[in-house]
Each structure stands twice: as structure tokens, then as C-alpha cells.
Amino acid sequence: MENNLESNRREFLKMTGKAGLAAGLSMTALSTFAENHSASGIISGAEEVPYAQQPLPYAYSALESVIDTMTMEIHYSKHAAAYAKNLAEAVKAENVDIEKMKLTSLLGKISKYSVKMRNNGGGHYNHEFFWKSMRSPAELNSPQSAIMKAFIKDFGSFEAFKTQFSDAGKNRFGSGWAWLVKTADGKLVVGSSPNQDNPLMDVSDLKGIPLLGLDVWEHAYYLKYQNRRPDYINAWWNVVDWKVVQQRFDAA
Ligand code: MN3
């Protein structure tokens, strides 16, 4: 560790010259440099998300029977937009070279960054991932054979998986997310994370490649469901885009 840091320091000085140190570059800047140039921490197989907020892939009203238009509009244009904006600030303040470091890699070593980076990097990633996990109930689809086999192998049945996932969302105390992940040994596992943490983060108890995530913060459902989080979760199954989940499963 010492040696790595020392060689990174030397490489850094070679590139910046002594002016860098004279200008008071901190150890944080040194570590950021080292991290950006490190080959480790790459999370292969995880869906990548650009640092900037992307257009919502459907109209605010598209999922109306499950997620009302006003909730969708406030969720996307206020809550999620704020995570993206605050992430951009943190990235700038902490000298992350976003051309070189993908968001999944940043999340993989989030313990080395600020709480602001953790909350907003997670918040941004999770919401971009969440929007893409849903489609209008009019475009019905269901899990296809490859992932269906995995559900049966790892949970006993598709219904058993859904129950476990729903319970993870219902039992997450306070704000957080329910997740389906593929672990390093290829198993499907269900769990949850607090706040805006996610399974790509080195600080997360649940680790793996996210295949499906459900926002169980009150802002995601309160206008339509008030205190009835279980009703929101049960209805949400009708808008899951299984084609997308299958693609993530194949890529992971
Ligand atoms: Mn949310």
C-alpha cells in the first residue's frame, strides 16, 4: 500500500512538476490521481450510466396506472435531477476525471470519496437504472427462459423470487432500495440497501451486478399510496421491463 502510494506520488510529481506541491495539492488529489489510473475497481458486466441525467425513456404519464404522473414528474425532474446536479459538483470538487473513470468504477471505490459523492453518485446511478427497468403495462412482457431457469434454480420459483424481493422492499426500514443482483459466483440474490447505496459500492453489505432495483423511498410512492408501501410494491411488478432485466442478466 505504502509502495503503491509512493510510486503513484512519484508519477504524479513527474506529470505536475513541483509547482503542484507548491500550490498545495493535497493527499486527496494524489489519491484521486492514483484511483483514476488504477486498473482495479472496474466492475465488468454492470450496466453503465452516464454522469449526466438522461431523458426519461417515456412520458411522465406512461406508467399512470401504477405510478401517477405527478409522482413521476417530481421524482424525475426534482429528486433525480438534484442527485445528478450534486454528483456533478462532487465530481468537480474531488477531481474525478469522468472521461477516464466510469460511474460504476467510482461506485466500486466509493469509500474513498465524500458522503456527498456516495449519496449523489448512488442516487444518480440508481434512478437512471430504475427508469430503464420499467415500461408501460400496455407493452406486456415476462421473464424469458434463461433468467427464468435462474429464478427456479436460485429461489425455487419465479413467485418465490418475487416474494423475497417484495419482502426486501417492504422490510427495508426508512429510505432505500430493494435489489436483485447476480453475484460473482453467478448466483441470483435478493437484498436491500439503505439511502442511495447500491450493490456496486464497496461499502455495501449486498454486493453484485444489479439486475433490478426498486426505489422504496416515500417520494417514489407517497402521493398515490401514502403509507401503503406494500401496495406500491405489489403494483410495481406490472411495469417491470423483463427484456431489460434479461439483457442485464446476459451481460453480467
Ligand atoms: Mn427516488
pLDDT digits (tens, 9 = 90+) for 102-120: 999 999 999 999 999 999 9
Is 210 a member of any domain?
yes
Among 213, 204, 195, 207, smallest CA distance to 119 is for 195
C-alpha pair distances (Å), 247 with each of 2, 133, 147: 41, 11, 10
> Which residues form the domain of 246?
69-251
List, edge to edge, every strand of the sheet that includes 176-182.
188-194, 176-182, 209-215
- φ/ψ of 240, rounded to 5, equals -70, 135
Evaluate whether residue 32 is within a structural domain: no
Q: How far is the CA of 154 from the centre of ligand 1 (A)?
A: 28
Domain membership of residue 125 (yes or no) is yes
Q: What is the pLDDT of residues 55-103, one digit of tens each?
A: 999 999 999 999 999 999 999 999 999 999 999 999 999 999 999 999 9
Q: Examine residue 186 and state whether it is found in any structural domain, yes or no.
A: yes
- Asked, for residue 75, whether it belongs to a domain, the answer is yes
C-alpha of residue 44 to centroid of ligand 1, in Å = 25
In the chain the first and final C-alpha atoms are separated, in Å, by 30
Q: What is the pTM of this model?
A: 0.83
Q: Ligand 1 center to residue 153 CA distance, Å?
A: 31
CATH number at 120 reads: 3.55.40.20
**165 Cα to the center of ligand 1, angstroms:** 18
If one counts the domains in the chain, the total is 1
For the cut 80, the answer to whether the pLDDT of residue 128 exceeds it is yes
- Rounded to the nearest whole angstrom, what is the distance from the C-alpha of residue 175 to the centroid of ligand 1? 9
Distance (angstroms) between ligand 1 centre and the Cα of 11 equals 41
Quote the CA–CA distance of 246 and 212 in Å, as a whole number: 10
In a domain, 243, yes or no: yes
- What does residue 174 show for φ and ψ, rounded to 5 degrees? 75, -145
Question: For residues 202 and 117, what is the distance between their CA atoms, to the nearest angstrom?
Answer: 13
Cβ 103 vs Cβ 49: under 8 Å: yes
Q: What are phi and psi of 72, to 5 degrees?
A: -65, -45
Q: How far is the CA of 112 from the centre of ligand 1 (A)?
A: 24
